[in-house]
Amino acid sequence: MFRSISGLRVPGSLQSGRHPGEGRGPIGEALVTMRGLSSAAFPNWAPAFAGVESGVRAVLASVGLMALVAGGAASAQDAPAPVPQAGAPAAADDQSGGLVVDVTGGISAPMPIAVPVMPTSAVVSTPAGSTDVLGRQLADIVTNDLRNSGLFTPLAPGQLRAIGFPEVTAPGFDYWGSTGAQALVQGFIRANGDGNLTVGCYLYDVSSRAELTRQGFVVPPSDWRRAGHKCADMVYTRLTGEGAYFDSRVVYVSETGPKNRRIKRLAIMDQDGANHRFLTNGQSIVLTPRFAPNQQSIVYMSYVNNRPAIYVYDIGTGRQRLVVQNASLTFAPRFSPDGRNILFSMAQGGNTDVYRVSSQGGAPQRLTNSPGIDTGGSYSPDGSKIVFESDRSGGQQIYVMNADGSNQQRISFGGGRYATPVWSPRGDLIAFTKLGGGFRIGIMSPSGGGEKLLTNDWQDEGPSWSPNGRVINFFRSGRGGGGKADLWSVDLTGVNERKIPTPLDGSDPAWGPLRP
Amino acid sequence: MAKFTTTLLCATALIAVAGCAKKRPETLPPAPVDSSAGVDPTGGLANGGANGAIVPGSDADFRRSVQSNTVNFALDMYDIDPTARAILDSQAEWLARNPNVRITIEGHCDERGTREYNLALGDRRANSAKNYLAARGVSASRMTTISYGSERPVAQGSDDAAWAENRRAVTIVLN
């Protein structure tokens, strides 16, 4: 099952005559640089043990969501290929012959997994810190990512024994078996001498004593945390069959102050809260930031100069430009999946409609024309359709139309009002805010069926999808003048609701794409 | 001439206050803090002049002359009810007496709506008030609108009274 990938560098000192992926003996490494942007740069080495039946399989109770997921875009189930398939309900198929995490049902038994500290071949001081300290922190990143997904129970790192550098590719399976871990993640970190760091990441099935997969990453010191997230993504995708999402960022509005004197600033951070920085200074109200698909800019709405308008902010340069000239109130912007267009809403004379404009600027094209309030457009991942909200029928409801504005059809009929629809990057679901009593986050299929509410607090609003379409960010507001808003996330099965740590309060989160 | 008039007004006001302790003016001069938020960074003080006198045609003059600079709305609604009509009528009269003054009308919502819908609803409310004033003879070219959605509440509570206060359209005279 070995796939040869061109362009890989195998360091002479660690060259192995063995077939890579056999998991024992000297390390045969595939080193892939993260400086390249191609997603093909991350090979997923297939394990060499195909057909071995694992005695350890975490199969979890499946509840009604099976039907919902299956009702969406169905993915074909391959024959016993160990290659992870994004979006496929994995529970029914364990022909992979190995460790499998059922992601479609209620998570009743997260998989115990061990992530010991990653050793280093030599302790070297780097701009990111000393390599032995980094090895500890990398294990923490992987541990936290996996635990926060709700699908894994990492063993407490402090209770795991340290592993030596040669042991990375030759795990002590007797010991790991005794800890109760079903899966084991071992890795290493090394300073390359050219200023970069190399991080190796290996995933093992403890009971079958087999390596499942491995990847290596070469990163500049400034990006060292991304190697940890890429490692966690490798583990997660291999064991769940879902797409990756840990190596991604979130842009949101950082808030502070009482409700009638609130200071709002754009902010960006890694999805685990690290590398947080503010992008605006709080002098003007800012709202609803969203990433461009290439992640180089953010489109958002600002009240600078008392003129509510939408701007594209270049993350690298910090400069921004007005998207629509000479317009009255414009808001609710979102990029198209190809980055070429920006959807937005414009209010004129008391009526609001959805428009599209080239992201380079120019004349907007009107897409809706009802006397009601039409706002909040979001594209399907293939760019062919747009979901939006409209109160043309008397109250806010969800509508789907073609990308050119034709064939506008209401899809929400569940009783109550619906707002802020967002199409999952997987295409199978639409998340929304349901109003009536309180605000709750919910999901439905693109035809409006299978509605399921995921949260139940006073005011949960503004969902945003993770890159793999499995987790939803939103913000939760409290009552009263001190009533703060905070960022939260929830799994699409409704479990694992957790608060996202931010330096101040927060609202309007937008999850960016997976970083290449 | 304007300065003499201002001084005369000041003097008259002082005499009136001094001589009639039990009688208070119908509307007091506004407090320095601008509660409608956002548009006037000086908080109204610029309208007061150097010695605190109210300049005719200013926003301070407007607020002390009309019934109110604010009209309120029912939940999710943007129609002008009879109370609002009376308020806007008084605004229209003042605007007729000060024909060179331009105004902006802010639309606001309470917190019980989603972010983007509230921006649109605020715009509806601002335009409702604007259209009413236009029907009362105020030239549309004198009026602009802006929506703050639920971003600038005046009342902080999460109860019916606070929400009712926050659902509003505020008319502000521009300098």
Write the residue in A306, A461, A482 that is nearest to B146 by C-beta: A306
Find which of B35, B103, B115, B168 to mutate to test the A interface (most A CBs within 10 Å of its CB).
B115
User: How far apart are the CA of B159 and the nearest CA of chain A, in angstroms?
Assistant: 8
Contacts of B116 in chain A (CB under 8 A): 288, 331-332, 345, 375-376, 389, 419-420
Go through chain A and tell me how many residues it has.
516
Number of neighbours of residue A131 by Cβ within 10 angstroms: 23
Scan for tokens 């970083």, then name that residue: A515
Side chain identity at residue A473, one-letter code = N
**Which CATH superfamily does the domain covering A12-240 fall into?**
TolB, N-terminal domain (3.40.50.10070)
Low-confidence spans in chain A with pLDDT less than 70: 1-98, 102-108, 481-482
Q: According to the model, what pLDDT value does residue A108 have?
A: 64
What's this model's pTM, rounded to 2 decimal places?
A: 0.80
B143-147 and B102-108 as β-strands: parallel, antiparallel, unpaired? parallel
Given an 8 Å threshold on Cβ–Cβ distance, is A287 in contact with B115?
Answer: yes
CB-CB contact of A442 with A419 (8 Å): no
Contacts of A431 in chain B (CB under 8 A): none
DSSP category for residue A372: S
DSSP category for residue A467: T
DSSP category for residue A31: B
Sheet holding A374-379, edge to edge: A374-379, A385-390, A397-402, A409-410
Given an 8 Å threshold on Cβ–Cβ distance, is B127 in contact with A349?
Answer: yes
Given an 8 Å threshold on Cβ–Cβ distance, is A259 in contact with B153?
Answer: yes
- Residue A488 in tokens: 């939260």
Q: According to the model, what pLDDT value does residue A259 have?
A: 85
Q: According to the model, what pLDDT value does residue B45 have?
A: 53
CB-CB contact of A508 with A488 (8 Å): no
Given an 8 Å threshold on Cβ–Cβ distance, is B151 in contact with A285?
Answer: yes
Please give the Cα distance from A2 to A344 (Å, whole number).
Answer: 48
* B77-B83-B87-B88 Cα dihedral, nearest 10 degrees: 50
- Residue A282 in tokens: 């709080």
Contacts of B112 in chain A (CB under 8 A): 459
Short-list A312, A321, A277, A262, CA closest to A507: A262
> Which residues in A369-384 are b (16+ Cβ under 10 Å) and which e?
ebebbbbbbbbbbeee
Contacts of A303 in chain B (CB under 8 A): 38, 148, 151
Please give the Cα distance from A70 to A482 (Å, whole number).
Answer: 43
CB of A436 within 8 Å of any CB in chain B? Answer: no
Q: According to the model, what pLDDT value does residue A482 have?
A: 67
Write the residue in B112, B123, B158 that is nearest to A352 by C-beta: B123
10 Å CB burial of residue A226 (0-12, 13-18, 19+) is buried
User: Where are any strands of DSSP class E within A206-329?
Assistant: 210-219, 248-256, 263-270, 277-278, 286-291, 297-302, 309-314, 320-322
SS3 B16: helix
The CATH number that applies at residue B81 is 3.30.1330.60
> In chain A, where are the structural domains located?
12-240, 251-514
Which domain range does residue B118 map to?
2-174
Q: According to the model, what pLDDT value does residue A437 have?
A: 83
Maximum distance among all alpha carbons in chain B?
54
CB-CB contact of B129 with B88 (8 Å): yes
Contacts of A482 in chain B (CB under 8 A): 156
Given an 8 Å threshold on Cβ–Cβ distance, is A345 in contact with B116?
Answer: yes
- Residue A147 in tokens: 């635990």
CB of A394 within 8 Å of any CB in chain B? Answer: no
- Residue A190: alpha-carbon gap to chain centroid: 27
Contacts of B73 in chain A (CB under 8 A): none
Given an 8 Å threshold on Cβ–Cβ distance, is B116 in contact with A376?
Answer: yes
Contacts of A483 in chain B (CB under 8 A): 156, 158
Q: What is the CATH T-level fold of the domain A251-514, as seen in this structure?
A: Neuraminidase (2.120.10)
Write the residue in A375, A480, A508 that is nearest to B158 by C-beta: A480
Write the residue in A259, A331, A435 that is nearest to B156 by C-beta: A259
Given an 8 Å threshold on Cβ–Cβ distance, is B120 in contact with A373?
Answer: yes
Distances, alpha carbon A238 to alpha carbons A86, A182, A221, B45, in Å = 10, 14, 26, 65
Scan for tokens 């059922």, then name that residue: A102
DSSP category for residue B24: P
pLDDT, mean of residues B3-21: 47
Q: Scanning every residue of chain B, which has its alpha carbon at the shortest distance from the alpha carbon of A344?
A: B116
Given an 8 Å threshold on Cβ–Cβ distance, is B39 in contact with A306?
Answer: yes
Q: According to the model, what pLDDT value does residue A99 have?
A: 72
Q: A423: which residues sit within 8 A by CB, 6+ positions away? A: A378, A379, A380, A381, A385, A387, A429, A430, A446, A465
Q: Scanning every residue of chain B, which has its alpha carbon at the shortest distance from the alpha carbon of A476?
A: B114
Q: Which residues of B touch A (CB under 8 A)?
A: 37-39, 76, 78, 111-117, 119-121, 123-124, 126-128, 131, 145-148, 151-158
Please give the Cα distance from A419 to A396 (Å, whole number).
Answer: 6
pLDDT, mean of residues B121-130: 97
Side chain identity at residue A126, one-letter code = T
CB-CB contact of A484 with A477 (8 Å): yes
Short-list A125, A114, A121, CA closest to A156: A114
Contacts of A259 in chain B (CB under 8 A): 111, 153, 156
SS3 A136: helix
- How many residue pairs bridge chain A and chain B with CB atoms within 8 Å of each other? 100
- Paired with A474 in beta bridges are A488
Contacts of B117 in chain A (CB under 8 A): 373, 375-376, 389, 391, 396, 419
Domain count, chain B: 1
DSSP category for residue A117: P
A210-219 and A197-205 as β-strands: parallel, antiparallel, unpaired? antiparallel
Helices (H) and strands (E) in chain B, counts: 6, 4
Q: According to the model, what pLDDT value does residue A203 have?
A: 98
- Residue A501 in tokens: 């740590």
